[in-house]
């Protein structure tokens, strides 16, 4: 490609990318996938790297981040960032309006109504049309300089072109994380076992203060602007200022309305009361501002707030609902979280069926009793909370909720440290969710690399007692036959109180009926989301009559379910039914309900319960019950797993050491220790002095190593793993131990390399005694510069004075050429 062609293509790509950014951020209506978007961006970056002269400072490529900010500089605001007074009622609003009339001496004024966005206030400074600085609100007088992070928000104008752009101006607005992004990030965090972000506002504020702007770039923050400041703006009213912001392509929420009097403000408030839940950002009220700037000046300020603007806060919406039961969830650290199951009520645009109760104190604070009617509210949090109990509706003989004493996952007695609100399950060794975290680490790609063992499979193996520690994995080979048909139970089961097993209503109805597809049932239930369970079942019977599919027997089976549910009166959990009740319909003539019930408190799957009951069942019943089960392990899956497990025995010692999950031993440390000691025995018997003598080993690490080997269970696991043939010493002529030419060096590779793939370069660095670091910082000894190293990374490396070497030079250093 010649420079002319490149210039044309760059212009084309930039335009296309900007267009897609507008669709995504301003209109929430993307036309292409993230993947396709990244492809366009990649092509642009590649062209700009090949033709550095063509790099425009306003190019959309300049938003990918790459700067690290250690300390955010404090910046003084040239105009103080004020807050608004709040009102909560129509009366208070009218009083505000009266004050405005009094202040102006007439009623000839307009109000400008906007939504009050619940994000993080930000001030952007533009000089000569260019974005130069972004500062947080801070204490109103001074805030933090977060320019590098704000620059990554793709729809913030970097350069305002056109006539009459003032030499210096300031725009203020609210940065937020769109609800959809927030949910996505939390889903990913949950999958990775990380703590969840509390709400979109905190998430946005945390993101703005991140040190690495390239992570910020991935988080898709957005911003709504609502204020323009400066000496030479040349507008008389707020509405003109907003038009100007729109013309300059600042993102202005299209929710504003200019009105002539306070009654119309009240109308605006009414109009957005429910509608606001369709917006991509949380809002908690409305801001009304006197539109005319001269009139604003006349009205002036109180000590803290302007007299020309005020916020009206919507009352948090509240609804009343019946407490059906409480589910206790066990996290990967063993922490217990109680969750209230409620009869469905509609609240702030969604149907609410659950509310977090946080911990035992919260239950006590609410003085919660069985069968209570409670008030639920939705604040900034996604999960609604219970604010109070309705005392008038409490049954005279209602029992107070008694908190569980034993872990619902493993039955161990719970503990509660004095200083902590949460109960914990102390059974770290064998409590399923806690074991899960450790096994996931063990099989991880950079550890034992058994990629056929994903979370769901591991969970199934743990739940059904096939594995409880890494060594058990190597015994699966001999249990292949038992694995066939085992259930993988994602989301299909739930337990209540002390462990009573529930199954999703859709699975139950699917098993109970014939000739109706799972999809049909699923769609039907989605539509009925707001009905309580029994009414849903009645509606389903009606639907069966409409479908005319085996009407008599299908309606009859649902009738059984209704009657059995009523008879047993077990705790209720919306969208789920007790497995025991469903099984009773199939097995009731063979065995007492009490026996099924007991088994369903001890076992975590239908498969497990049936094994426990040990009945000889007809083919027909077996087939019907099979419909109740989740996906099961099949031949292909099992042989894949066996292959992965067998191959993992060749992983070198340092990977095995990392896989053991000793606290504070990351990849680099595992490598360092493996190379230093050569065998696990030597590491185990090393004295604290010997350990501390190693460069890079500190007190905390010594303690974790000592602690790990002090536990008999850990030593036993290692003994067994050795027995299965895992590598516990460095191979003498291990190809991975190639030399020490990089001893003590901290290295990063960036861009495309010819001789190495991503992970290979890491291994090569480590194999020659170096340490691989994954981000640009001044601690690096050098960077291996690959073919298309990102321009911003390069710029940063240059700024920090980190030397860059070519791949060829690197090969020379490690003696390969």
114 binds ligand IVH (CB under 6 A): yes
Q: How far is the CB of 34 from ligand IVH (least distance, A)?
A: 28
Task: Point out which span in 32-40, 303-311, 668-676, 709-717 binds ligand IVH (CB under 6 A).
Answer: 303-311
Residue 174 vs 472, nearer CB to ligand IVH: 174
Cβ(22)–Cβ(29) below 8 Å: no
Tally of CA atoms within 13 A in the half-sphere of 527 that contains its CB: 9
208 binds ligand IVH (CB under 6 A): no
Q: How far, in whole angstroms, is CA 215 from its chain's centroid?
A: 14
Q: Which residues contact 607 (CB under 8 A, 6 or more apart)?
A: 464, 485, 486, 487, 629, 632
| CA–CA separation, 182 and 23 (whole Å) | 19
Q: How far is the CB of 219 from ligand IVH (least distance, A)?
A: 19
Q: How far, in whole angstroms, is CA 35 from its chain's centroid?
A: 20
| CA–CA separation, 210 and 189 (whole Å) | 17
Task: Point out which span in 80-88, 430-438, 658-666, 737-745 binds ligand IVH (CB under 6 A).
Answer: 80-88
DSSP code, position 414:
P
Residue 581 is encoded by which pair of tokens? Answer: 């009740």
Residue 229 vs 730, nearer CB to ligand IVH: 229
Residue 564 is encoded by which pair of tokens? Answer: 């059995």
Applying CB under 6 A, which of residues 144, 170, 174, 181 lies at the interface with ligand IVH? 174
- Per DSSP (E only), the strands in 549-598 are 576-578
Q: How far is the CB of 137 from ligand IVH (least distance, A)?
A: 6
Applying CB under 6 A, which of residues 24, 117, 126, 328 lies at the interface with ligand IVH? 117
In the chain, what's the furthest Cα-to-Cα distance?
93
Q: How far is the CB of 281 from ligand IVH (least distance, A)?
A: 9
Q: Which residues pair with 115 in a beta bridge?
A: 286
747 binds ligand IVH (CB under 6 A): no
| CA–CA separation, 537 and 581 (whole Å) | 15
Q: Which residues pair with 355 in a beta bridge?
A: 340
Site string for ligand IVH, 277-296 (x = CB under 6 A): ----------x---------
Helices marked H in 26-155 — which ranges? 34-50, 90-104, 147-151
Q: How far is the CB of 313 from ligand IVH (least distance, A)?
A: 10
798 binds ligand IVH (CB under 6 A): no
Applying CB under 6 A, which of residues 109, 226, 756, 782 lies at the interface with ligand IVH? 226
241 binds ligand IVH (CB under 6 A): no
Q: How far is the CB of 116 from ligand IVH (least distance, A)?
A: 4
Dihedral of the CA atoms 34, 40, 45, 51 (nearest 10)? Answer: 180
79 binds ligand IVH (CB under 6 A): no
Q: How far is the CB of 208 from ligand IVH (least distance, A)?
A: 13
DSSP code, position 54:
G
Residues in binding contact with ligand IVH, number by CB under 6 A: 15
Q: How far is the CB of 279 from ligand IVH (least distance, A)?
A: 12
| CA–CA separation, 307 and 100 (whole Å) | 8
Residue 350 is encoded by which pair of tokens? Answer: 């969604």
Residue 178 vs 470, nearer CB to ligand IVH: 178
| CA–CA separation, 48 and 43 (whole Å) | 9
Containing 645, the helix (H) or strand (E) segment is: helix 635-648
| CA–CA separation, 12 and 3 (whole Å) | 14
The answer to whether 315 is a known catalytic residue is: no
Residue 306 vs 379, nearer CB to ligand IVH: 306
Task: Point out which span in 41-49, 304-312, 576-584, 664-672 binds ligand IVH (CB under 6 A).
Answer: 304-312
| CA–CA separation, 551 and 546 (whole Å) | 9
543 binds ligand IVH (CB under 6 A): no
Task: Point out which span in 79-87, 161-169, 233-241, 434-442 binds ligand IVH (CB under 6 A).
Answer: 79-87
82 binds ligand IVH (CB under 6 A): yes
Task: Point out which span in 114-122, 160-168, 334-342, 747-755 binds ligand IVH (CB under 6 A).
Answer: 114-122
Helices marked H in 356-484 — which ranges? 360-366, 432-443, 455-463, 470-473, 480-483
121 binds ligand IVH (CB under 6 A): yes
Q: Which residues pair with 345 in a beta bridge?
A: 352
Q: Which residues pair with 679 in a beta bridge?
A: 729
Could you tell me which of 177, 221, 217 has the C-alpha nearest to residue 201? 177
228 binds ligand IVH (CB under 6 A): no
Q: How far is the CB of 77 from ligand IVH (least distance, A)?
A: 12
Residue 252 vs 323, nearer CB to ligand IVH: 252
Residue 171 vs 814, nearer CB to ligand IVH: 171
| CA–CA separation, 599 and 520 (whole Å) | 31
Site string for ligand IVH, 136-165 (x = CB under 6 A): -x----------------------------
Closest chain position to ligand IVH (CB): 121
Q: How far is the CB of 72 from ligand IVH (least distance, A)?
A: 18
The CA-CA-CA angle for residues 458, 462, 463, to 5°, reads 115
Residue 207 vs 554, nearer CB to ligand IVH: 207
220 binds ligand IVH (CB under 6 A): no
Applying CB under 6 A, which of residues 116, 238, 507, 572 lies at the interface with ligand IVH? 116
| CA–CA separation, 501 and 728 (whole Å) | 42
Could you tell me which of 786, 792, 791, 789 has the C-alpha nearest to residue 807? 786
Backbone angles phi, psi at 440, to 5 degrees: -60, -40
Residue 247 vs 304, nearer CB to ligand IVH: 304
| CA–CA separation, 19 and 24 (whole Å) | 9
227 binds ligand IVH (CB under 6 A): yes
223 binds ligand IVH (CB under 6 A): no
| CA–CA separation, 168 and 391 (whole Å) | 60
Cβ(528)–Cβ(536) below 8 Å: yes
Task: Point out which span in 109-117, 126-134, 148-156, 361-369 binds ligand IVH (CB under 6 A).
Answer: 109-117
Cα separations in angstroms, 97 against 81, 254, 379: 23, 25, 28
Could you tell me which of 25, 382, 20, 17 has the C-alpha nearest to residue 221? 25
Residue 185 vs 204, nearer CB to ligand IVH: 204
Task: Point out which span in 81-89, 425-433, 612-620, 794-802 binds ligand IVH (CB under 6 A).
Answer: 81-89
Cβ(222)–Cβ(248) below 8 Å: no
Q: Which residues contact 653 (CB under 8 A, 6 or more apart)?
A: 674, 679, 680, 727, 728, 729, 730, 731
Residue 83 vs 361, nearer CB to ligand IVH: 83
Residue 103 vs 371, nearer CB to ligand IVH: 103
Residue 246 vs 413, nearer CB to ligand IVH: 246
Site string for ligand IVH, 346-375 (x = CB under 6 A): ------------------------------
* Catalytic hit among 8, 39, 116, 385: 116
Residue list 305-324, contact with ligand IVH (CB under 6 A): 306, 309, 311
Task: Point out which span in 60-68, 112-120, 353-361, 647-655 binds ligand IVH (CB under 6 A).
Answer: 112-120
Residue 280 vs 556, nearer CB to ligand IVH: 280
Applying CB under 6 A, which of residues 12, 83, 563, 679 lies at the interface with ligand IVH? 83
Cβ(154)–Cβ(197) below 8 Å: no
Would you name the residues annotated as active-site residues? 116
Residues that bind ligand IVH (CB under 6 A): 82-84, 114, 116-117, 121, 137, 174, 226-227, 287, 306, 309, 311
């Amino acid at each position: 490609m010649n420079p002319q062609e490149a210039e044309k293509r760059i212009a084309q790509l930039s335009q296309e990318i900007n267009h897609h950014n507008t669709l995504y951020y301003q209109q929430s209506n993307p036309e292409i996938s993230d993947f396709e978007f990244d492809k366009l961006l990649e092509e642009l970056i590649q062209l700009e790297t090949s033709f550095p002269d063509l790099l425009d400072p306003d190019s959309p490529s300049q938003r990918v981040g790459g700067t690290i900010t250690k300390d955010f500089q404090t910046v003084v605001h040239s105009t103080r960032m004020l807050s608004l007074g709040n009102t909560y009622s129509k009366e208070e609003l009218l009083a505000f309006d009266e004050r405005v009339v009094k202040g102006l001496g007439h009623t000839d004024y307009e109000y400008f109504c906007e939504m009050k966005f619940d994000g993080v206030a930000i001030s952007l400074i533009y000089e000569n049309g260019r974005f130069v600085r972004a500062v947080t609100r801070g204490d109103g007088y001074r805030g933090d300089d977060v320019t590098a992070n704000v620059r990554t928000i793709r729809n913030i104008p970097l350069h305002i072109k056109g006539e009459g752009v003032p030499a210096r101006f300031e725009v203020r607005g609210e940065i937020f994380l769109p609800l959809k992004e927030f949910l996505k990030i939390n889903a990913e965090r949950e999958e990775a076992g990380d703590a969840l972000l509390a709400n979109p506002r905190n998430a946005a504020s945390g993101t703005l203060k991140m040190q690495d702007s390239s992570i910020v770039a991935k988080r898709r923050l957005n911003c709504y602007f609502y204020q323009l400041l400066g000496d030479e703006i040349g507008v008389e009213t707020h509405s003109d200022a907003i038009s100007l912001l729109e013309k300059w392509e600042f993102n202005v929420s299209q929710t504003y309305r200019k009105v002539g009097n306070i009654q119309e403000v009240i109308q605006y408030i009414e109009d957005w009361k429910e509608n606001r839940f369709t917006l991509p950002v949380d809002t908690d009220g409305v801001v009304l501002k006197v539109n005319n700037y001269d009139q604003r000046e006349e009205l002036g300020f109180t000590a803290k707030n302007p007299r020309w603007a005020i916020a009206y806060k919507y009352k948090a919406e509240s609804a009343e609902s019946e407490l059906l039961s409480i589910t206790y969830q066990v996290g990967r650290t063993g922490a217990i979280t109680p969750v209230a199951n409620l009869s469905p009520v509609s609240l702030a645009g969604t149907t609410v069926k659950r509310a977090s109760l946080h911990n035992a104190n919260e239950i006590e604070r609410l003085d919660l009793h069985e069968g209570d009617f409670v008030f639920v509210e939705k604040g900034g949090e996604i999960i609604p909370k219970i604010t109070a109990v309705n005392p008038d509706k409490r049954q005279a003989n209602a029992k107070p909720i008694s908190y569980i004493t034993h872990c619902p996952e493993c039955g161990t007695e719970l503990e509660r440290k004095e200083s902590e609100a949460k109960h914990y399950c102390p059974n770290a060794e064998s409590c399923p969710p806690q074991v899960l975290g450790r096994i996931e680490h063990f099989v991880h790609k950079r550890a034992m690399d058994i990629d056929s063992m994903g979370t769901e499979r591991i969970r199934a193996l743990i739940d059904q007692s096939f594995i409880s520690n890494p060594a058990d994995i190597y015994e699966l080979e001999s249990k292949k036959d038992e694995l066939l048909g085992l259930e993988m139970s994602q989301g299909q089961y739930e337990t209540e109180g002390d462990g009573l097993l529930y199954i999703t209503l859709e699975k139950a109805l699917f098993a109970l009926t014939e000739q109706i597809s799972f999809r049909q049932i699923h769609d039907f239930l989605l539509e009925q989301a707001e009905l309580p369970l029994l009414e849903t079942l009645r509606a389903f019977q009606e639907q069966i009559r409409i479908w005319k599919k085996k009407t008599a027997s299908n309606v009859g089976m649902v009738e059984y379910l209704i009657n059995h549910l009523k008879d047993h009166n077990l705790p209720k959990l919306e969208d789920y039914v007790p497995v025991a009740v469903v099984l009773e319909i199939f097995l009731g003539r063979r065995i007492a309900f009490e026996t099924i019930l007991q088994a369903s408190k001890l076992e975590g799957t239908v498969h497990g319960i049936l094994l426990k009951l040990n009945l000889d069942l007809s083919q027909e019943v077996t087939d019907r019950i099979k419909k109740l089960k989740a996906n099961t392990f099949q031949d292909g899956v099992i042989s894949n797993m066996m292959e992965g497990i067998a191959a993992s025995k060749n992983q070198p010692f340092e990977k095995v050491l990392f896989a053991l999950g000793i606290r504070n031993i990351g990849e680099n440390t595992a490598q360092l220790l493996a190379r230093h000691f050569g065998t696990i025995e030597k590491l185990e018997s090393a004295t604290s002095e010997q350990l501390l003598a190693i460069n890079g080993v500190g007190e905390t690490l010594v303690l974790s190593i000592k602690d790990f080997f002090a536990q008999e269970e850990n030593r036993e696991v290692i003994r067994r793993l050795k027995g299965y043939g895992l590598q516990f010493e460095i191979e003498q002529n291990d190809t991975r131990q190639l030399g020490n030419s990089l001893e003590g060096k901290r290295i990063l590779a960036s861009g495309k390399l010819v001789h190495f793939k991503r992970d290979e370069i890491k291994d090569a660095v480590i194999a020659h005694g170096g340490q691989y670091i994954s981000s640009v910082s001044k601690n690096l000894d050098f960077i291996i510069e690959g073919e298309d190293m990102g321009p911003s990374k390069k710029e940063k490396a240059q700024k920090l004075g980190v030397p860059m070497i070519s791949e060829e030079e690197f090969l020379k250093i490690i003696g390969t050429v």
